Amino acid sequence: MIIRKVSPQIRGTALGAYAAFFDLSLGLTIPIAGLIAGAFDYQAVYFFGAITGFVAISLLLIQKNH
């Protein structure tokens, strides 16, 4: 959906950037989730995900109001 919003000339670049940031997010969160699961338990990973999701939504709402 987002790729369709950019001009046709740069869709390849936009798709590459999307894929790179998706890979980066997985490369960062998977080791962090492993550390959390090792230090606590697997339920803590889901709690961490919920907290980070809440923080992300809060930041988006704050940004929208400015």
pLDDT tens digits, one per residue of 1-46: 777 888 888 989 988 998 999 999 999 999 999 999 999 999 999 9
The helix/strand/coil state of 57 is: helix
Say how many domains are in the chain: 1
Instruction: Determine the pLDDT at residue 66.
Output: 79
Q: Summarize the confidence of residues 43-54 as an average pLDDT.
A: 96
Taking CA atoms, 31 is separated from 5, 10, 53, in Å, by 33, 33, 18
Instruction: Determine the pLDDT at residue 5.
Output: 83
The helix/strand/coil state of 7 is: coil
Torsion-angle region of 6 (φ positive above 0: left; ψ -120 to 50: alpha; else: beta) = beta
Domain that holds residue 15: 3-65
CA 18 and chain centroid, separation = 11
Q: Taking Cα atoms as reference points, which of 3, 24, 25, 1 lies closest to residue 14?
A: 3
- Confidence bin at 64 (pLDDT 50/70/90): confident
